[in-house]
Amino acid sequence: MVLSIAPNSDETVVADNSGRNGSAWCEADLESAVETVIQDLLAGEYRKPIRVVAFNTAECWSQDVSEDIAREIQRRCNLHLSDVPSYLQELVDRYSPQDLQQFSLRLV
């Protein structure tokens, strides 16, 4: 993970709340960015993620992809019949549609 003031030409970054040290924008390579970011998030690489943004400075665009990332995290947790990790819950609650939220089923 590399920290810089501005992302390189094609990158996805995660805004991470580092507690008393403030927030940091952590970069990930665009080629594998979505999968890398999701795996890093699920592995606990980020303390308290706030937002995920994709940048392409060569084409002069950026896009908040937090909803896509949150939706995929919720989907994977649902598939594994597991809860969203507590450190990701706020991100998922903020950006994932309510209809994707996991429901607890009572076993009889």
Is 36 contained in some domain? yes
Is 85 contained in some domain? yes
Which residues on adjacent β-strands are paired with residue 51? 15
Is 60 contained in some domain? yes
Angle among Cα 76, 34, 81 to the nearest 5 degrees reads 5
Is 83 contained in some domain? yes
Is 24 contained in some domain? yes
The 10s digit of each residue's pLDDT in 41-68 is: 999 988 888 888 877 766 777 888 899 9
Is 1 contained in some domain? no
The 10s digit of each residue's pLDDT in 71-91 is: 999 999 999 999 999 999 999
Segments forming the whole domain that contains residue 32: 10-100
Q: Which residues 6+ apart lie within 8 Å of 21 measured at CB?
A: none
Is 107 contained in some domain? no
Q: Give how many domains the chain has, as a whole number.
A: 1
pTM, full prediction: 0.67
Across the chain, mean pLDDT equals: 74
Is 106 contained in some domain? no
Query: What's the Cα-to-Cα distance from 52 to each of 14, 79, 80, 104, rounded to whole Å?
Result: 4, 22, 23, 28
| Cβ(65)–Cβ(51) below 8 Å | no
